[in-house]
Each structure stands twice: as C-alpha cells, then as structure tokens.
Amino acid sequence: MKREQKIESILNSLDGLEKANPRPFFFTRLEARMQKEVKGSFVEKILGFLIRPSVAIAAVVLIVVVNAFVIISTTLHSEEQATEGNKIEIATVDQYLQMSANPFDGEKVNP
Amino acid sequence: MEESQLIEKLKEGDRAAFKTLVERWESMVYNTALGIVQSEEDAEDVAQEVFIQVYESIDSFKGQSKLSTWIYRIAVTKSLDAIRKKKRKKRNAFLQSLYGKDDELVHDPADFVHPGVKAENKEDAAMLFKAIDRLPENQKTAFILNRVEMLSYKDVSEIMEVSVNSVDALLQRAKKNLKKYLEDIVD
C-alpha cells in the first residue's frame, strides 16, 4: 500500500466509531466518591482550622496561661499550707513552753 | 423530565434529578474524556469529577446555553486539566530520576485504542490517537468533539465558544498536523 494511502486510511480509521460507555454502576461509584469527599472535606476543614496561625498561636497562649495559672496557684497554696503549718507549730511550741513553765500546776501541794 | 424542570430540581438538591442527569449524560461525558485523555481509568476519573462539578455549581448555571453544552465545556476543561497534570507528574518523575529519586515511576501507557473502533481499524486508530495526542489543545478538542463525539461544527463552536469558521479552521489545521505527524510514523 502506498504511503499516502496508508496515511489516508489511518485518518479515516474513526469512521463508524461507536460511542464508549463507562463501566456499569457508574452512578453508584460516583455517589460513593461524593460521600467520601464530603467526609474528607469535613476532616480537612477541622484540620485546616486548627493549623491556622491565629488559632495555633491562640492555643499556645491558652496552654501557657493555663500552665502559669496552675503553677502559681499551686505555689500559693503550698505557701499558705506552710504558713498554716508554721502557725500550728508555733502554737504547739507555745503550749509546750507554757506547760513546761509550771510543770506541777496540776499537782499543787499545799504546805 | 424536561431540561428546565431537571435544572430546577437539581438546584433544590434533588438526588433523583441528579441521577437522571448522570444517566442521561454519562456516556457523552465519558466518551469525550476518553478521546482526550486516552485512558479508560483516567476517563472514568474525569467523568466523575465533571458530575461532581455539575452538582456543586448548578446554581451558577444561568441557562444561557443548553445544559449539554455547559456539561461538555466542563468535560473538556477537566480532561485537558487531567492531561496537564499527568504531563507535570511525568516531568517531575523525570527530574527526580535525574537526581536518583525514582520511587514513583510514571509509565507511558500502552497504545490507546478506543473501544468503539471497528476491529479492522484498531491498528490504524492506535496510530491516529498517538498523533492526536501531539495536537495543540484547541485543535485536539475540536477534532475529538467532531470525530469522536460526532458533533456538528455548530455544536463544537458553541462548546468551544468560537465561531463556526474558527472550528473549520481548527479542524483543517488539525488534519494538516495529523498528516505531518503520521508521515513520521508511517514507513
């Protein structure tokens, strides 16, 4: 076959072409993909919101503030406890001293 | 269901209307995509993307053209996007292979043969599709819509938003280029 004829034959090779169809159940596959993308986009939206610089910075600040609050309140509480403990200790010592000053108060003997 | 009624129902998010739309146009969308992307797997993927876009942007459809014309436009755009994406991926894989990173290989597909081609024309059609793949985007689009999707010049002009004369010119240039490419292939 001559070269020109071959090229012509190739160019006409689509004559009588039938339309191609997708595999059966195309709509079912499409719906499944759409549902998957909706779920995916919901998670993506949440992640996208969380990794926004403003949200991330606010979260870090919040964590620092909460931590600082917990540390400060714990320190104050332990200081208060220590002061209270000291008072009790002083009171106990005073009581002891008082008792030591008159060891026989309870056993006065009349001459 | 009438087209206007179908559009109205689609805008209301009616599932049955969407199913009707898909079943009415899945063949035309798939066939167009297949002609352009030349891979059954990619054509299925593009066809799904087309209908997702139709579903999501039906509110923006103002009825200035036929619904089928609008869907064809989306199909052509998505198909051309898919080709560009594939070429980009292939280029990146080539660049990575130069640096010794070839963990993801992009293979050249085997010769594409449209499933609707007559048995006796399969060999010639495979060569033709190889040549079609080398055409510039607008010539390729006009050729596929006219020769694979069998649309008239008028319909092609409406989809491509150009005049009928421009479609004629595009098809003339496409045939000229195809002949040139085929001369390189044919012994």
Is the Cβ–Cβ distance between B131 and B116 less than 8 Å? no
Q: Is A106's pLDDT higher than 60?
A: no
Cα gap B150→B126, rounded to integer Å: 19
User: For residue A102, what pLDDT band results from cuts at 50, 70 and 90?
Assistant: low
Question: Looking at chain B, how many residues does it have?
Answer: 187
Q: Is the pTM of this model over 0.90?
A: no
B69-77: average pLDDT: 98
DSSP A110: -
Average pLDDT over residues B114-138: 95
Model confidence at B98, pLDDT cuts 50, 70, 90, reads confident
CB B55 within 8 A of CB B18: yes
pLDDT for A108: 52
Give the range among A4-8, A73-77, A92-96, B155-159 with minimum mean pLDDT.
A92-96
For residue A48, give the 3-state DSSP assignment. helix
Query: How far does Cα B137 stand from its chain's mean position?
Result: 10
A3 with B121: Cβ contact below 8 A: no
Residues of B within 8 A of A37 (CB-CB) are: 52
Cβ(B26)–Cβ(A22) below 8 Å? yes
Task: Enumerate the residues of chain B whose CB falls inside 8 A of the CB of residue A15.
Answer: 118, 121
- Name chain A contacts of B116, Cβ cutoff 8 Å: 17-20
From A31's Cα to the closest Cα of chain B, the distance in A is 9
Burial B74-87 (b: 16+ CB within 10 A, else e): bbbebbbebbeeee
Q: Which residue has the tokens 């085997």?
A: B110
The minimum CA-CA distance between A20 and chain B, rounded to whole Å, is: 5
| Residue B18 · residue B57 · CB < 8 Å | no
Ordered by where they begin, the domains of chain B are 1-83 (1.10.1740.10), 111-187 (1.10.10.10)
What token pair was written down for B58? 């039906």
State the DSSP code for B108. P
Is residue B29 scored above 90 in pLDDT? Answer: yes
- Where does the pLDDT of residue B50 fall: very low under 50, low under 70, confident under 90, or very high at 90 and above? very high
Residue B185 and residue B175 in contact, taking contact as beta carbons nearer than 8 Å: no
Find the closest chain A residue to B51 by CA distance: A30
Helices (H), A1-111: 3-11, 26-50, 53-101
Per CB-CB distance under 8 Å, the chain B contacts of A17 are 114, 116-118, 147-148, 150
Instruction: For B110-175, give the DSSP string.
Output: PPP--TTS-GGGHHHHHHHHHHHTTS-HHHHHHHIIIIIS---HHHHHHHHTS-HHHHHHHHHHHH
Nearest Cα of chain A lies from the Cα of B99 at a distance, in angstroms, of 32
Name the residue facing B117 among A7, A14, A34 (closest C-beta). A14
Give the model's pLDDT for residue B90: 84
| Residue among A10, A17, A18 whose CB faces B182 most closely | A10
| Helix runs in A12-52, H state only | 26-50
What span, in angstroms and rounded, lies between the C-alpha atoms of A35 and B42?
20
Among candidates B66, B75, B91, which has minimal Cα distance to B32? B75
Total beta-carbon pairs less than 8 A apart between chain A and chain B:
92
Residue B103 above 60 pLDDT? no
ipTM: 0.85
- Contact residues on chain A for B38, CB-CB shorter than 8 A: none
Please name the residue of chain B whose CA is at the shortest distance from the CA of residue A19: B116
Nearest CA in chain A to B175: A11
Contacts of A6 in chain B (CB under 8 A): 186
